Amino acid sequence: MKKEKFLFEKLGILSILILFFLTIQNKKEETIKASFIQEETDILLEKGYSLTQINEMMEYLNEENLNKILESNYTDLESFYKVPNFHFELLERYKAYRNLSNKSFENVVTEVNIHLDTPFYTDIKTIQNPEEITVLVNKYHALPKDYEPKDLTEIPSFPNLKLRKEVISDFENLLANALLDQVFLIPYSTYRSYEYQEELYNGYLEKEDQDIVDTYSARPGHSEHQTGLAIDIRSNSHWNSLTPEDYEWIKNNGYKYGFILRYSKGQEQITGYKEEPWHIRYVGIEHATKIHELNITWEEYYDLYLQ
């Protein structure tokens, strides 16, 4: 009994000592942490940030991103990190791009995210999700050479043309409702294989320089037509274009069936292509409606809402 009492007392004393040691250690760590934060605060104050801004940073930033700010001489970061689609790993690119323009912080962030701070057809990434309806195909994102949609289906009323199966019903609804408004639309180019796009692109190169061709034709692997989601349409009275009236109908109604005008006038800097009023792209009714309301490109929408 005395032995058990002694052991209990010994363990009790040991537990107290351990608890005391841990308390001292925690206080030491808290002191170090407080000192570390104070040191960071002093640096940020020297850079011109206010205490309010610093408190926001402490709440918003992880240690890695905070260190990037501490190492940077840039003192207007608040305007960047409050932009919803801001990525800290791109900070130096944001800074460099803004120095070249007078664009807003929001525009700088979005355009750098889209890669517009680099020349077209550089830093190309191979698309890993080509089957997704929301797939982004452009001059920075390429489809695999051997990619062909698994569900390619002939359009019933145009059996020589194929689209993704999911697109067929909405496209036929678009054609039918256009006809009710006396707009007779005809698709003339839908799915294209990599090989066909290569043949088409090389044919253009035989006639014009590449920098000109790149403004109106996609390089192989970079064409939306390879996804089976893009359609070139024409008016009944035109071989490969739309009348102004038919274009207006598409512009004002296409989104109701899940289609967007992919390359519109005034968006050349972002899309990399001249206006193509005949080129529509299926993204689904929800996304198409938002894009119509916001009047932005697919690239911008993808970065803001789908990344």
User: What is the per-residue pLDDT for 17?
Assistant: 47
pTM confidence score: 0.81
- Class of domain 126-306 as given by CATH: alpha beta
Mark 124-150 as b/e (b = at least 16 C-beta within 10 Å): beebeebeeeebbbbbbbbbeeebebe
How confident is the model at residue 44, as a pLDDT? Answer: 83
pLDDT of residue 155: 97
> Which of 56, 154, 172, 276 is flagged as catalytic?
276
Segment 214-238 mean pLDDT: 96
Amino acid 10: pLDDT: 47
Position 18 pLDDT exceeds 70: no
* Per-residue pLDDT tens digits for 35-50: 557 888 888 888 888 8
- Among 94-103, 162-171, 273-282, 296-305, the minimum mean pLDDT is found in 94-103
How many angstroms separate the CA atoms of 132 and 135, rounded?
5
pLDDT for the residue 14: 52
Q: Which residue has the tokens 């207006």?
A: 248
Angle, helices 2-46 vs 63-71, to 10°: value is 40
Is 39 tagged catalytic?
no
Residue 240: which pLDDT band, with cuts at 50, 70 and 90? confident
Closest CA to 43 of 22, 25, 64, 66: 66
pLDDT for residue 145 is more than 90: yes
